[in-house]
Structure 1
């Protein structure tokens, strides 16, 4: 027998936002720009015999990122580093192997903010100004925001010197970094060489790419009226769940939403890595071009952020206390697009 407390335990709250528009306006790019640190990307192509090579390679070519071990955060406010990489091109970074609900975490956003999510003990010993976490009423976590691109943030200024000195007291972290140079003639590996010259352990990481083909699949028609059922089907298909609806148990039976079409081949593409919003933009542009070249009923793009990252959408605080959702689905056809945006609950915890 289940205890009453477990039986009545509510599912984590989530926020869902649906946006619809005309593909000519390309407003869906605005959503992409708001999620800075992206980990998993998948594409579903119905009624497709062959996937164009440029789609497969968009998030493979020149999408290397780097893992740097045992980095003191004071290195990230070094003025030479800021001028060479944060001010030029697109730089993002985040800590790994740290848990957003109980450890100290950091990230750097494309607009040049170094953000720290700290435990109460770390924050009180750090001595830099921050704000209590929105999600913990007991003030067990704090967020510190440092604008690396501020005109006043430079050596010789009191705020800069104090910040650099206090960051020296924090423990070293393992970071992922991704840098897109401002010009094509500059090698993206320059940022890796910078840290290598400082004698850090630098590892190059390549995105993992997988592709599969499913045969004789019932695919629901994409309309703006059945978007929740359509997104549910995309999730079932992506996870290779049973879509046949022929199970013996009622609880395990799933039926494809109607109306639907049956296609001989449906392609599923998936990348795992560390992607900037600009790299996701490039993939979306390729998918839109593919729609114009070949008649397809629709194409879907799913993007998922990291669980343990300081911010999710824009500069809004992220958390993983219950669900940690920060992802979106974009579905395109020849005329319209739909963005299905999944966000963390704004509920705070006692």
Structure 2
């Protein structure tokens, strides 16, 4: 354990600065690439209560379903494929499973099904796959990725029957499963929900009013003097309600507010958690931009989107691993002049953010 404490795990951080007014800005594509989000955190400086329009957007986030002990072969059912998967915009993720130890499943909005399996399960399943890129020495974990919209996976076809037989008769994989879909699309989840033990859930919203908050001097979008790692640490500490007012002799925490700093008389921290769709995150970003156009004391807002730590994929269809933390998140720092700073961060078992 002492050896592990002496070694700082590798992490990846990609930073981008641009403007929403630039037609080549990457915000829309980045939001779409992060399919499985479990938490959105917003920090509003000099604010004591949620603005009405922002509160309305948060309360209109799409609901999602939790299916208990879903047989994964049901995702290959002909009716579900035709009424949901082929229509696009369906998001599904195994729940309560650990991507470094258990069998994990993800159904992406483009119709791709990803199975992250231990070696024994992979061999029992009997379909083509590839070793996980995050195996340490031996191939102890495998990834099976299939495009359910491909003609070879059409119901009754050879590929479809082989995977269906493997999941239904040999592996018999069952897991609790989170499911949602784009509310504006044509997909229907009823063929899958009927006959299953399921419950519908709304994203949970919480807020905290903060007073006398030490804060980096972010009065303009010029943050050359502020180290991105220190900034993200400070935002994480605020979200987790961890004090950054620590002395150099403190053994509890070494987190401090980056210099140069100022003190905010008040701020509002808002969090939304659940299976959160990219479309809802687009809407909250647009609402924050409108909020920033109003005259006010402070001219910035931060938004952080956290991906599920045990999702088998992140950043589109890239494989995701855990190791120590499973981090995959991005932070968007937005300013009143429509400029932004985008920080994309991952842990050691991840591909480089796009």
> Separation in 1 of the partners of 2:124 and 2:266?
58
Q: Is the 8 A contact 2:320 2:350 kept in 1?
A: no
- 1:234 Cα shift? 1.1
Report SS of the residue matched to 2:94: strand
1:180 to 156, 161, 182: 182
Report the TM-score when normalising by structure 2. Answer: 0.88
Aligned position for 2:250: 249
Shift in CA distance, 151/66, structure 1 to aligned 2, threshold 3 Å: same
Measured in 1, the distance between the counterparts of 2:2 and 2:334 equals 45
Aligned residue in 1 for 2:147? 147
Q: Is the CA contact 2:319–2:350 (under 8 Å) kept in the aligned structure 1?
A: no
Matched, 1:195 2:197: no
Q: What CA distance in whole angstroms lies between the structure 2 residues aligned with 1:179 and 1:96?
A: 16
- DSSP-derived class of the 2:149 partner: coil
Using the TM superposition, give the Cα deviation of residue 142 of structure 1 relative to its aligned residue in structure 2, in angstroms.
0.4
The answer to whether the aligner puts 1:279 opposite 2:251 as a matched pair is no
Q: 1:55 to 1:143 in 2, by over 3 A?
A: same
Q: Whole-Å Cα distance in 1 between the matches of residues 152 and 29 of structure 2?
A: 30
Partner of 1:122: 121
Aligned-pair CA distance for 1:177: 0.2
Map of 2:328 onto structure 1? 326
Shift of 1:206: 1.6
Shift in Å, 1:145: 0.6
Once the two structures are superposed, residues 108-155 of structure 1 have per-residue CA deviations (whole angstroms, 9 ceiling, x without a partner) of 111111100001001111111000000114110000011011133212
CA separation of 1:142 and 1:246: change in aligned 2, threshold 3 A: closer
Following superposition, the deviation at residue 291 of structure 1 comes to 1.1
Residue 314 of structure 2 corresponds to 312
**Counterpart pick for 2:216 among 220, 232, 241:** 220
Q: Which residue of 1 aligns with 2:31?
A: 32
Kindly indicate whether the alpha-carbon contact (under 8 Å) linking 2:63 and 2:180 is maintained by their aligned counterparts in 1: yes
CA spacing shift, 1:244–1:6, aligned 2, 3 Å: closer
Shift of the alpha carbon at 1:56?
A: 2.4
1:20 is displaced (CA, Å) by 0.9
Alpha-carbon distance in structure 1 between the residues aligned to 2:279 and 2:162: 33
Instruction: Give the distance between the partners of 1:250 and 1:163, measured in 2 at CA.
Output: 54
Q: Report the Cα distance in structure 1 between the residues aligned to 2:310 and 2:203, rounded to whole angstroms.
A: 19
Q: Structure 2: how far apart are the matches of 1:218 and 1:23? A: 28
Change (3 A) 1:79 1:181: farther
Matched, 1:258 2:259: yes
Cα distance change, pair 255–133 in 1 and its aligned pair in 2 (3 A): closer
How many corresponding residue pairs?
A: 339
Deviation at 1:248, TM superposition (A): 6.1
| Structure 1 unaligned blocks of 5 or more | none
Matches within 5 A, 1:3-82: 5=3, 9-25=6-22, 26-82=25-81
Q: The residue matched to 1:69 in structure 2 has which SS?
A: strand
Structure 1 residue 255: Cα displacement? 4.0
The CA RMSD measured in Å over matched residues stands at 2.3
State the match for 2:205 in structure 1. 209
Name the SS for the 1:293 alignment partner: coil
**TM-score relative to the length of structure 1:** 0.89
Corresponding residue of 2:290: 289
Match of 1:165 in 2: 165
**C-alpha distance in structure 1 between counterparts of 2:350 and 2:333, whole Å:** 29
For residues 332 and 151 of structure 2, what CA distance do their matches in structure 1 show?
38
**Counterparts of 1:105 and 1:171, CA distance in 2:** 10
Native 8 Å contact 2:234 2:256 kept in 1:
no
What CA deviation, in whole Å up to 9, does each residue of 1:184-235 have, x standing for no partner?
Answer: xx7x8x52x43342x1101111211101111122321223311332222212
Distance 2:117 2:160 in 1: 20
Which residue of the partner structure matches residue 345 of structure 1?
348
